[in-house]
A = this chain, B = another copy of it.
Amino acid sequence: MSTLKNDRFLRALLKEPVDTTPIWVMRQAGRYLPEYRASRAKAGSFMDLCTNPDLACEVTMQPLERYDLDAAILFSDILTIPDAMGLGLYFAEGEGPRFERPVRSMAEIKKLGVPDPEQELRYVTDAVRTIRKELDGRVPLIGFSGSPWTLATYMVEGGSSKDFGKVKGMLYSDPKAMHMLLDKLAESVTSYLNAQIAAGAQAVMIFDTWGGTLTQQTYQDFSLAYMEKIVSGLTREADGRKVPVTLFTKGGAQWLEKMAMTGCDALGLDWTINLDEAKARVGDQVALQGNMDPCVLYSTPEVIRETVKGIIDRFGADSGHVFNLGHGIHQHIDPENVKVLVDAVHEFGQRG
């Protein structure tokens, strides 16, 4: 493997000194970019794009050509694991992800197998290998997975949900079934992320998009406990470097102290918490990633720059901050504003 030319992102996640604040953007390879929309049209469906390693590599590289980003992230979907378990993932136009065969009972959960990532999810590890080769040490590559709880919400609901009645109904009425499902998912996520690391991912992130819909106790028992289990089962070194792990629970700002105790290296933050308050609460335990409201990008270069400066000032001059949005970039953002964002982070993040 070639030497990493820009390791600012990995250094910040490990709280090592950096020259300036690193930045990447959740969903940086996405629909706001015309070149992405062209690749997507060429591929056919969204899943055709995910399952073709060359096209997945192509779209992963696109934002790096436009912007001075400090990390690449594997282009994939969080629902690859349930799909590999046989639930039949498809995307209804304008309706988001759906499963042909949702899981609603203990009997159905018992039948689920743990996918072998180098078999059923080979297209993902192939994409990681292809992207690493293409990156040639330019910036690190992030691998990722959905959290067990987040995957379970889609598997039980059969798709996106507003009120999570089915999955939380199962949690409250049949907690044993829910724990069996989450156990299988935690095992699957662990081997999936380890396969991504073996294939070349230099950092990994677990997206707990729906953990914030739980109570404090059910969050601890049904989401955080399984993320902790995954963290403890991950390969933490590759190419002679530590592989940092980031946990991100959207809407989880109330539980940062608990998340920081899982053994992870960093926490992703949504925009509802001020970065200085988050930092005070987690202390030196973890680095922080975030946390600009994606909607600021609808605004002007002046407002974007001012907001970036405010966030960086809140964190302060020590290392341990990776700039990002608090959630994925929206489809209708002007790509020019992303350039303003990335350059502002590097400008205002400079260490004296």
Contact = CB atoms under 8 A, between A and B. Distances in A.
How many copies of this chain sit in the oligomeric assembly?
Answer: 2
Q: Looking at chain A, what size class is its interface with the partner chain?
A: 20 to 34
A17 B178 CA distance: 41
A233 interface: no
Given A171-B295, A254-B272, 12 more contacts: A163-B294, A165-B295, A168-B293, A169-B295, A173-B299, A173-B300, A173-B303, A215-B272, A215-B274, A216-B273, A218-B293, A251-B251
6 contacts: A169-B298, A171-B295, A172-B296, A215-B271, A254-B272, A254-B273
Contacts of A296: 172
A164 interface: yes
Contact of A298 (B172, B215, B293, B294): B172
A216 B251 CA distance: 13
A212 interface: yes
A169 B331 CA distance: 13
Interface string A198-228: 0000000000000010111110000000000
Nearest to A213: B272
Contact of A295 (B172, B253, B299): B172
Interface string A113-137: 0000000000000000000000000
Contacts of A184: none
A293 B295 CA distance: 29
B215 A293 contact: yes
A309 interface: no
Contacts of A330: 163, 165
Contacts of A258: none
Which 3 residue pairs of A and B lie closest in terms of their CB atoms, listed nearest first? A169-B298, A168-B295, A172-B299
Nearest to A332: B165
A303 B303 CA distance: 50
A90 B134 CA distance: 52
